[in-house]
């Protein structure tokens, strides 16, 4: 066995992890990469070791939500090192670096950006790869090729098999070489566990809290800590020419306040992008709604519709029960459907089939 398998089994024995045959099946791939990296000379050495290292074949781990992909990547990163970042955050960083490079007048901005990102890097762990933006689709192929040629090993997780990345996207034919690159340079492994561990954590748990007081916040803090593992990062969604910022995101779970999502001038495209990017949304401090905050109420209805259609799990704190959030004024009749959906989304098995 290897370092990742040994540590996994030790944590199972200690009761920190539940044994899962599908997770165990992929551990040899992590061990293979760990051993390959351990046998490499660190990048940046002079003399004989100045030669570029050959990238260890990486791993593309895909499967349904909540199966433990991010947990396994975190365990691997904890033991092996390298850089671990959510794919959305990584692409946002790349876009920012490209913008800065273009300001210098360079002919091909991706060349210095790729060199900067790969400098001294041996392992790049990217969580939750999904590509919905044509700009990202046109960048990743060349960038990943450059990184791999520079000796960077890539490990990534995704909810989609490589052939379904950027499915039905604009000019997808230009993206197909990237898919072939991933299939050629990375081992593609499906995590086939029938269990949704994220769903298991919420099974039978209260997910709608009212009123939105200190007690509700404490309950949500506990849920967030459990689902996020105590760490988070910013999620930036690119919608056409705009950006939507979610300040707290981890393991497919986003956390935001009502005002952050419904008090801002956001629309259906923004909420659809959010529903595509997350599997669980924690939404806090939903107020009572009326004609006085009609625009916020209208956005909330649109948000709930997007979450509902995408089967996203919603955890919320609100001023009152769903049926009592919007009692009178323009829009109150239409809100009855939203209240019904909020009730349905509280079911123990909501989102399990997503």
Residues 10 and 152 in one domain: yes
Which of 190, 209, 224 is at the close of a domain?
190
Residues 35 and 176 in one domain: yes
The CATH number of the domain holding residue 102 is 3.40.50.300
Residues 137 and 225 in one domain: no
Asked if residue 354 belongs to a domain, the reply is no
Q: How many domains does the chain have?
A: 2
Which of 160, 190, 220 is at the close of a domain?
190
Asked if residue 353 belongs to a domain, the reply is no
Q: Are strands 253-257 and 280-286 parallel, antiparallel or unpaired?
A: parallel
Residues 224 and 121 in one domain: no
Residues 135 and 10 in one domain: yes
Decide: 126 and 154 in contact? Cβ < 8 Å.
Answer: yes
Beta strands per DSSP E along the chain: 58-62, 83-86, 123-127, 153-158, 186-190, 208-209, 233-239, 242-250, 253-257, 280-286, 313-318
Residues 248 and 329 in one domain: yes
Structural domain span for residue 238: 197-344
Q: What is the pLDDT of residues 37-60, one digit of tens each?
A: 987 555 444 444 445 677 899 999
Asked if residue 89 belongs to a domain, the reply is yes
Which of 157, 190, 223 is at the close of a domain?
190
Q: What is the pLDDT of residues 141-183, one digit of tens each?
A: 899 999 999 999 999 998 889 998 888 788 888 889 999 999 9
Asked if residue 349 belongs to a domain, the reply is no
Residues 209 and 177 in one domain: no
| Model pTM above 0.75 | no
Residues 273 and 131 in one domain: no
Q: What is the pLDDT of residues 84-103, one digit of tens each?
A: 988 877 887 898 899 899 99
Mean pLDDT of the chain: 87
Residues 114 and 181 in one domain: yes
């Amino acid at each position: 066995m290897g370092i990742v398998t040994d540590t996994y089994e030790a944590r199972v024995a200690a009761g920190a992890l539940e044994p899962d045959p599908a997770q165990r099946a992929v551990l040899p791939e992590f061990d293979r990469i760990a051993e390959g990296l351990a046998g490499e000379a660190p990048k940046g050495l002079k003399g004989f070791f100045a030669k570029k290292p050959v990238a260890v074949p990486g791993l593309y781990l895909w499967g349904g939500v909540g199966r433990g992909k991010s947990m396994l990547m975190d365990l691997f990163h904890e033991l092996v090192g390298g850089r671990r970042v959510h794919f959305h955050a990584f692409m946002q960083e790349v876009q920012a670096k490209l913008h800065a490079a273009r300001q210098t007048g360079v002919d091909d901005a991706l060349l210095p950006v790729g060199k900067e990102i790969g400098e001294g890097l041996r392992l790049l762990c990217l969580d939750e790869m999904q590509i919905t933006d044509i700009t990202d689709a046109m960048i990743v192929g060349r960038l990943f090729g450059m990184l791999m040629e520079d000796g960077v090993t890539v490990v990534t997780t995704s909810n989609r098999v490589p052939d379904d990345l950027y499915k039905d996207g604009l000019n997808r034919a230009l993206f197909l070489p990237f898919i072939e690159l991933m299939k050629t340079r990375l081992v593609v492994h499906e995590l086939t566990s029938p269990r949704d561990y994220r769903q298991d954590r919420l099974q039978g748990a209260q997910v709608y809290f009212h009123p939105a007081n200190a007690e509700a916040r404490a309950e949500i803090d506990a849920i967030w800590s459990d689902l996020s593992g105590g760490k988070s990062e910013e999620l930036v969604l690119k919608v056409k020419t705009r950006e939507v910022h979610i300040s707290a995101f981890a393991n497919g779970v986003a956390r935001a306040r009502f005002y952050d999502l419904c008090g801002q001038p956001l629309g259906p495209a923004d909420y659809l992008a959010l529903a595509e990017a997350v599997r669980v949304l924690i939404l806090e401090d939903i107020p009572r709604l009326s004609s006085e905050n009609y625009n916020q109420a209208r956005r909330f209805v649109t948000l709930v519709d997007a979450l509902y259609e995408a089967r996203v799990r919603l955890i919320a704190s609100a001023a009152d029960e769903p049926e009592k959030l919007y009692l009178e004024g323009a829009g109150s009749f239409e809100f009855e459907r939203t209240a019904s959906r909020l009730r349905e989304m509280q079911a123990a098995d909501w989102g399990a089939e997503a």
